[in-house]
Amino acid sequence: MRRSTAAVLGTLAAGAAGLAYARWEAQHYTLRRATAAVLPAGQPDLRLLHLSDMHLVPGQSKKQAWIGSLRDLRPDLVIVTGDFMSHVDAVPHVLDALDPLFDLPGAFVLGSNDYYAPMAINPARYLAGPSQLEPSRREMLPWGDLVDALTTSGWLDLSNARATMKVDGREVDVRGVDDPHISRDRYAEVAGPFEPEADLCLGVTHAPYLRVLDGMADDGADLILAGHTHGGQLCLPGVGALVTNCDIDRKRAKGLSSHRESALHVSAGLGTSPYAPVRFACPPEATLLTLTP
């Protein structure tokens, strides 16, 4: 065999192996644990389950069962930072997955994929900057049905809304925005100092755009939760995320970091677009955040 032919065959074999691995990794659901010191002195820990970017479609029973099994962690509070679904028939599957968690205090915001059905996009476009939505070319998803069902189950819709929650006897001042990635955020409608007497001040957004993080941090959020980035989804080992699909820097594409005086946690999420069911060096995740004094 000529040397050039062998090189081409070797490259194709390596590509096929990498693709097979990335498809496997996309279903290798992982629980990540992290600790954030954001509670007042003297308080007992609070366990916050952060879910994001599930992108559920019919037929993902393994993912649904894994999400439901997180109830065994006995969290005190569940926050979902959007992109619940990626299919017009996904709502019942989302509700089945989350049903074991509905007896817990919970709150959520929506992401762009809860509003619009996914489309095949050339992955190289993400290297040029945040993706642009073209609503005229997209099918609307039944996001109103999803919101109705989640709120009927007792969870709070934080899309451009704020509220006070009682969690394990503690007062949580929480606010959120609708998805900044598609310009639905209206932070001015929830802006203003967080409640100084609250035990925890929480900001929630799907996409961690800097304008939203700035507003929440300047108003005194102890902790801001976000998703959307998929942690980069395809990462280089030792380098990390190549893109964030928004204006946050790549070093904060997933995990705990900070923004000004606030702690920031960005979830790498549990799913993918159905048109790109691959993840590399960035397993799908849920996070159990232990909040400590």
Residues found near Fe ion in the complex (CB under 5 A): 53, 83
List residues bridging with 224 in a β-sheet.
Answer: 203, 264
Cβ at position 86, least distance to Fe ion in Å: 8
Cβ at position 186, least distance to Fe ion in Å: 21
Among candidate residues 214, 209, 218, 201, the one with its CA nearest the CA of residue 185: 209
The smaller minimum CB distance to Fe ion, of residues 100 and 274, is found at 274
List residues bridging with 166 in a β-sheet.
Answer: 171
The smaller minimum CB distance to Fe ion, of residues 84 and 194, is found at 84
What DSSP character marks residue 192?
Answer: S
Cβ at position 90, least distance to Fe ion in Å: 13
The smaller minimum CB distance to Fe ion, of residues 83 and 222, is found at 83
Query: Is 238:220 a contact under the CB 8 Å cutoff?
Result: no
Cβ at position 245, least distance to Fe ion in Å: 9
**Pairing state of beta strands 223-226 and 235-236?**
unpaired
The angle, 0 to 180 degrees and rounded to 10, between the axes of the packed helices 91-98 and 61-69 is 30
Q: Which H or E element spans position 289?
A: strand 285-292
The smaller minimum CB distance to Fe ion, of residues 51 and 167, is found at 51
Cβ at position 199, least distance to Fe ion in Å: 30
Angle at 179 between CA 62 and CA 268, to 5 degrees: 40
The smaller minimum CB distance to Fe ion, of residues 85 and 264, is found at 85
Q: Which H or E element spans position 65?
A: helix 61-69
